[in-house]
Structure 1
Amino acid sequence: MRILARLCMTADGYVTTPDGWPPQIIDPTHGPGSHGVAEFLRTCEAALMGRTTFEPALAADRWPWPDLRVFVLGSRRPEGTPEHVTVDDDPVRLLERIRAADRGGDVHLIGGPRTIETYRALGVLDRLELVILPYLVGSGMRLTDSFDPATDLEFESSRPLPGGSVEIVYRVPSKH
């Protein structure tokens, strides 16, 4: 089981729009599986995220993770959370629950930056994939505001994506 973070960010470094939405929503090429996410998800069996990322899914027209087990790091279970979703406020205990449910696939660690940094600091983040979008938004949340600047990243690959985006993949060496 590998823990893989993949997120879109604008060319000026924001992982959300000024109003808090994922920046890919401003890209006309955005849709189910766009920005390389369909390929990425082929190896994933679970999704791990913080409560702030999870809660908007409860009001979505369709469940965003139909084929994945969902784990949420949060201090409370949001109203309307399906029973099959695991919620825990302790990142280590939640990781143990993910490992106990492991069937050999990867875990998609979905932003925000604080949740990604929590698991990077625990030494369990294996890969950070960034999709750089050809847009500038001027404000929002930056990935780097939450990440430890001493984080080592080892370049693994890059490739252009339709619509002018670029995927950059880094391996995150474990310090533990």
Structure 2
Amino acid sequence: MKIVSRLSTSADGYVSTPDGWPSQLADPAFASGSSHGIVEFLEGKEAALMGATTFAPALGAPRWPWPGLDVFVLGSGRPEGTPDEVVIDHDPTALLERVRATNRGGDVHLVGGPKTIATFHTLGALDELQLVILPILLGAGLRLTDHLDPATQLTFTHSRPLTGGSVEIIYEV
């Protein structure tokens, strides 16, 4: 089992827009239907591990964003409307143990913002970081690096161009 995070970032390094939305939502190519490789990325994933801030909007979405995946949420409460099979725990170590205990051999998508990714990275639970560099400049927002230890070592694996001028870069952590 590998735990893999995939984030989109503007060319100037912001993973969210100034108003808090994921950066890919500001990319015209994404708005016109480009998946930026997420469909291929999700193949072989068996679970999604995320923070409560990422999870909450899914409860009001017209369709469940993680069909067929086990969902684990780092959070202090169970929001109304949460499906019964979603596991929620306030302790990242305990939640990670539950992810590992139920794993059937597939990889885990670590979904979320910089704070969630840093939390699981600190626990040694980030094996791969995938970045989609978008051809946009946001000028402000949330940066991935504000929460990650600058001593984090990344090993380049590969890159590829994506539709609309984005570039996917994959690193082992």
TM band (smaller chain): over 0.9
User: 1:151 is aligned with what amino acid?
Assistant: T
* 2:72 is the counterpart of 1:105: no
Q: What is the deviation of 1:33? A: 7.2
- The more displaced of 20-29 and 150-159 is 20-29
1:161 aligned residue: 162
1:58 aligned residue: 59
* 2:39 is the counterpart of 1:20: no
Q: What is the deviation of 1:111? A: 1.7
**Structure 1, unpaired ranges of 5+:** none
**Which has the larger share of helix?**
2
Residue 25 of structure 2 aligns to a residue whose secondary structure is helix
After superposition, where does 1:6-155 map in structure 2 within 5 Å? 6-30=6-30, 34-155=35-156
Q: What is the deviation of 1:126? A: 0.4
Q: What is the deviation of 1:29? A: 2.5
What's the TM-score, normalizing by structure 1? 0.94
Cα distance in 1 between the residues matched to 2:135 and 2:13: 11
Query: Percent identity over the alignment?
Result: 66
Cα distance in 1 between the residues matched to 2:90 and 2:59: 19
CA shift digits 1:100-157 (9 cap, x unpaired): 1111100000121111111111112100000000001111110000111110111111
Q: What is the deviation of 1:68? A: 0.8
CA RMSD of aligned residues (A): 1.2
What's the TM-score, normalizing by structure 2? 0.96
**Structure 2, unpaired ranges of 5+:** none
Q: What is the deviation of 1:67? A: 1.6
Matched pairs, number = 172
CA shift digits 1:68-114 (9 cap, x unpaired): 11100011112221111100011111011111111110000012111
Cα distance in 1 between the residues matched to 2:60 and 2:51: 16
